[in-house]
Amino acid sequence: MDSATHACPHRILLVDDDLDTLEFQAMYLSRQGWEVERASNGREALEIATRLPPDVLVTDLNMPVMSGRALCEAVRSAPALEHIQILIISGSEDARTVGSACGANAVVKKPFAPDLLVDEVRKLLRVR
């Protein structure tokens, strides 16, 4: 890790209503030296992203209060947030179609190996 990365870690915002899944994913991403924020629904995530935009938003698709699709659409429609890379994680059969329709940069189908999550976030950080 170079000194620039160490001085200013990438910010990742994880969104999932399953707290065990949220903590498990946060553990893997934190090990990469990234700053990880957590939200349990789309509305909470949008509030966090508006205050301090992350580099990458990783969201489940199906959540109460505000779905991952609605979150993705809200981020894409806000000029101050349009630079955020979005990764949707879902077990839904139509996840890729929904992800494409709402402007996600990538979709990972559940279940997946934790290394795949890290690899996908790394790819999105390179795009930024």
pLDDT in tens, 54-69: 999 999 998 999 999 9
- Tell me how far CA of residue 24 lies from CA of 16, 49, 51, 78, in angstroms: 11, 21, 25, 29
| Three-state secondary structure call for residue 24 | helix
pLDDT (tens digit per residue) in 82-117? 899 999 998 888 888 888 888 999 999 888 888 999
Q: What is the pTM of this model?
A: 0.90
Q: Name the pLDDT band for 8 (thresholds 50, 70, 90).
A: low
